[in-house]
């Protein structure tokens, strides 16, 4: 997928998710890495939305981070070769479809968030159910 089709904020989200995966020693970038990146973004839309909905974004962020810490880790040189998991790739495709549905030229954080909300069977989906 062409990174130039993402807004600046969405590109920052993808970069942060990748950095988190590297920092935590995860070989795959999961949709939960993207979810976490959306939540911790300073002055980000998703944090503001969570506050507006009177949901505890900090608690969700804490649970997501604990989940990410528990993901399988790799050591050595292979840790520098992170890639998108199948579910994370599907999330980006879904975000692209969201943007197209809204007739937006670029994929933004709101499209990523809407795609996250549509996921089934993931840790993020369970969190949304509880929060």
pLDDT score at 34: 98
Residues in the chain: 131
Question: Residue 19 belongs to what H/E stretch?
Answer: helix 8-24
In this model, does residue 44 exceed pLDDT 90?
A: no
What average pLDDT does the segment 55-65 reach?
94
* pLDDT band for position 15 (cuts 50, 70, 90): very high
Amino acid 109: pLDDT:
96
Beta strands in 4-54 (DSSP E): 28-29
For the cut 90, the answer to whether the pLDDT of residue 42 exceeds it is no
Query: By the 8 A CB rule, do 26 and 81 touch?
Result: no
What's the pLDDT at 80? 72
Looking at the predicted structure, is the pLDDT value of residue 85 above 70?
A: yes
% the chain with pLDDT above 70: 98
User: How far apart are the C-alpha atoms of 18 and 48, rounded to whole Å?
Assistant: 23
pLDDT band at 19 (very low <50, low <70, confident <90, very high): very high
Bridge partner list, 29: 84
SS3 125: helix
**In this predicted structure, which of 17-21, 72-76, 119-123 has the lowest mean pLDDT?**
72-76
Output the pTM of the full model: 0.93
């Amino acid at each position: 997928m062409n990174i130039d089709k993402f807004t600046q904020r969405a590109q920052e989200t993808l970069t942060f998710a990748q950095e988190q995966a590297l920092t935590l020693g995860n070989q795959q970038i999961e949709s939960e890495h993207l979810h976490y990146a959306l939540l911790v973004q300073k002055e980000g839309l998703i944090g503001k939305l969570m506050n507006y909905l009177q949901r505890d974004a900090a608690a969700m962020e804490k649970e997501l981070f604990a989940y990410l810490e528990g993901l399988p880790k790799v050591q050595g040189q292979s840790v520098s070769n992170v890639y998108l998991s199948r579910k994370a790739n599907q999330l980006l495709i879904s975000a692209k479809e969201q943007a197209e549905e809204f007739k937006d030229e670029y994929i933004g954080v709101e499209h990523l968030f809407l795609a996250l909300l549509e996921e089934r069977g993931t840790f993020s989906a369970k969190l949304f159910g509880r929060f």
